[in-house]
Amino acid sequence: MFDQSHFDVLQDYIASGCTMELTDEELNYYNALYALVGINRKYGKDNAIAFLMHEPFNMDRMRARRMYTEALNLFFLNDAVENDAHRNIIFDNLQKAALAVLQNATCAKDMEVYGNLLTQAAKIKQLDKPDPVKPKEITEKPIKVYDLDPTAVGLPIVSRHVLGRQIDSMDLPEREKNRLRRDANIVDIDIEEMLDDTEEKTKDYE
């Protein structure tokens, strides 16, 4: 029985909201995995694996263990991370244990055990840790505005003549000086010269 795994198909089936149509064998595989989860909860891992090693499945232990893992991942996995499946199983068991203690509590000691179980469950679920910071939406991102007018940010206006003399006094190639003059709006921008300058810089990196 079950010559091949249908785990991938069943993942898609659950992701679709169980709207996909399954073949009879795929549906039987789904039911078998679901049964494994129930057996695991009530009787433990060893009994769940043994269930597959007898009629009507008659699987060898390796194949049964693989199917057991598929069952845990299919019904407990919520984030494509295997550890999450185990956390959810332990969390579920601790909650059931806490409820059983609460229902049968007769003294303060019982309530202390109940509280400890809830605390352990919260830690397993990582409820004691802050939620991860979500990335800000585009509408929440700061808007940057660039302005060539220094007075817009409270800075004084620099004399273009003084700035030009400072650039002229620099020990730089004339091409670099021209670029600085353009950036400082001391001279008009020459598009052709800018293109030539860009092409020259590109050649330097080839």
Chain centroid to CA 92: 23
Over residues 114-136, mean pLDDT = 79
Chain centroid to CA 8: 21
Model confidence over 41-96: pLDDT tens digits? 888 888 889 999 988 888 899 999 999 999 888 887 544 445 666 677 778 888 88
Model confidence over 142-195: pLDDT tens digits? 666 655 566 666 666 666 677 677 778 877 788 787 777 777 666 665 556 556
* pLDDT value, residue 190: 59
* Confidence (pTM): 0.40
